[in-house]
Structure 1
Amino acid sequence: METTTPTPAEVGRRATEILALIKGTEEFSRLERSSQAYTDCWATFTGYPLVANWDLTSDTPPLFEEALRVLALKSAVFELSDGDEHVAELEISAPVDEMVHAVLAQYTLCQRLTERIGIGFVHMTDQERFTYEVDGYTDQCYRAAGWGEPNRRYWLDRAEMGRRLDILGRKYESIGIQAEGRSHRFTFEELTPTEAATTRATV
C-alpha cells in the first residue's frame, strides 16, 4: 500500500509542536551542550567544510538549531505517514545533516527525551539521498512550521554542494588527501616540528 505524503501544512504544524516539546524537556539543556562539545570527534571532510568561511565556534550554535528543526520535521512526517521511514527521511543539505549526526550521537539523551515526549527521531543512512533542492518539499514544510526561509549559509542545494565538493576535492588532493578524505598515503614517519626541534637541540 502506497503511503500518502503529508502536506507541508500538516507537517509544519506538527513539527512546531514537536520542537516545542523537545525544548521543554529536562534533557534539552544537556542535549544542547553535549551536541556542541567535543567537536573534533565528529567533523568530516564533506559536511561542514562545504560552508564558506567555516568557523566551528560561530557556526555550531545556529547549525544545532537547524538540526533540531530537521529532527522535528522528520518526526512529524514519520508520525503523519504512519511510520513510513522512507518518506520521513527528508532531503537536507550536507552541513545540516552533519549536525543531525552530532545530535543523534547523544544516544542516551535522545532515547530518554523521545520516550518522555512520545516521539521518534528518524535517521537512517541507507535512506539518505542528498538530492536536496531549494523550494522543494523540505523547504515547504520548514516554512509551514513558521521558521521562515532556511539559512542559505547552511542549506545548499545539490548542484551547489556538488560544485563545492569538486573544489574541496582538488584542494584535498593537493595535500595528499584522496577521495574526499576517504584515503591518503601518509605514513606519519616524518618528525613533527616539536620533535625536529628537540632532535636538533640534542645533536
Structure 2
Amino acid sequence: MDINLIRPAPEKAAELAREMLAIIEADPEFDRLRTACAKYDEDWTSFMGYALVDGFDIAKDTEPLFPEAMRAMAIKSAVYELTDGDEAAAEVPVAVPVDEMIHALAAQFTVLSRIQDRTGIKFVHATDREAIGQWDYGDYTHQVYRAAWGPTMNERYWFGKEETAMRRKAVTAKYEPMGILDGGRRFVPGFAKAS
C-alpha cells in the first residue's frame, strides 16, 4: 500500500458516502442492481473470498452482504470525488468477502453505468490498486464506515487482516489434498475429468 496517499478526513468522507448511498438507493434501477447481484450466483466461483466466510451459503448470504458492498463502494466513490479522481486513494482496503460482492456488483456493468449517468456518482473499483486482505479494524475504511453508519459492522464479512490470513491458510490446506492449488489459481491435471 502506498503510504503517501492523501485521503480526506474520515468524517468528511463519511458524510459524502452516506449522501451518495442514499442517492444510489433512490435510483429507479437500484432494486434491479440488487436483484441482479443475487442472480450472479451461478458465476460466483471464489476460492479465496467467500470460502473465508464460515458456512457461506449464497442463498442466505447475498442479502446481508450486498449492503456491505454498497457501503464500501460509497466510501470509495466519496474518496474519489473528494480527491479529484485519485483512483489510488479511492481504492480503500475492504474485507475480502465484501470485495467479492463488489465484483458481482461490477459485473452488472450496464445497469451500473446507467445509475452512474443518472446520479453523477462514479463507482470505483480497480483490481490493480487493491490492497487485498489488508482491511483491518481501526484503518481508514473502518473509520469512515463507523462515522457514516455507526460502530456496528457485520462481522460475518468484515474480519481483519490477521483473521483473513489465518482463514486463507486453513482454506488452502483443505483445498490442496483435493488438487486445488494456489488458492484456486491452479488445479492438478485431470481435475475436471470424470473418473
Does TM-score exceed 0.5, indicating one fold? yes
Off by >6 Å, runs of 4+ in structure 1 = none
1:159 Cα shift? 1.1
What corresponds to 2:104 in structure 1?
Answer: 102
Letter in 1 for 2:194: E
What is the percent sequence identity of the aligned residues?
Answer: 42
Match of 2:31 among 19, 29, 40: 29
- How far apart are the structure 2 equivalents of 1:56 and 1:29? 18
TM-score (norm. length: structure 2): 0.93
- How far apart are the structure 1 equivalents of 2:82 and 2:72? 15
Letter in 1 for 2:12: E
1:57 Cα shift? 1.2
Bigger Rg over Cα: 1
Contact 1:78/1:122 (CA < 8 Å) preserved in 2?
yes
What corresponds to 1:120 in structure 2?
Answer: 122
- How far apart are the structure 1 equivalents of 2:53 and 2:193? 33
1:3 Cα shift? 6.5
Match of 1:165 among 152, 164, 168: 168
Q: In the alignment, is residue 54 of structure 1 matched against residue 71 of structure 2? A: no
* Ranges in structure 1 where 5+ consecutive residues have no aligned partner: 192-203
- How far apart are the structure 2 equivalents of 1:136 and 1:189? 45
What corresponds to 1:198 in structure 2?
Answer: none
Contact 1:3/1:84 (CA < 8 Å) preserved in 2?
no
What corresponds to 2:47 in structure 1?
Answer: 45
What corresponds to 2:15 in structure 1?
Answer: 13
Letter in 1 for 2:97: P
Match of 2:194 among 190, 194, 197: 190
* Ranges in structure 2 where 5+ consecutive residues have no aligned partner: none
What corresponds to 1:148 in structure 2?
Answer: 151
Q: Deviations over 1:137-181 (max 9, x none)?
A: 101100111243221110111111111111111100111111111
1:186 Cα shift? 4.3
Q: How many residues were matched structurally?
A: 190
- How far apart are the structure 1 equivalents of 2:54 and 2:161? 15
- How far apart are the structure 1 equivalents of 2:150 and 2:33? 21
Match of 1:179 among 178, 182, 189: 182
- How far apart are the structure 1 equivalents of 2:38 and 2:158? 19
Secondary structure in 2 aligned to 1:83?
A: coil
Q: Over aligned residues, Cα RMSD in angstroms?
A: 1.4
Secondary structure in 2 aligned to 1:166?
A: helix
Moved more, 25-34 or 179-188: 179-188
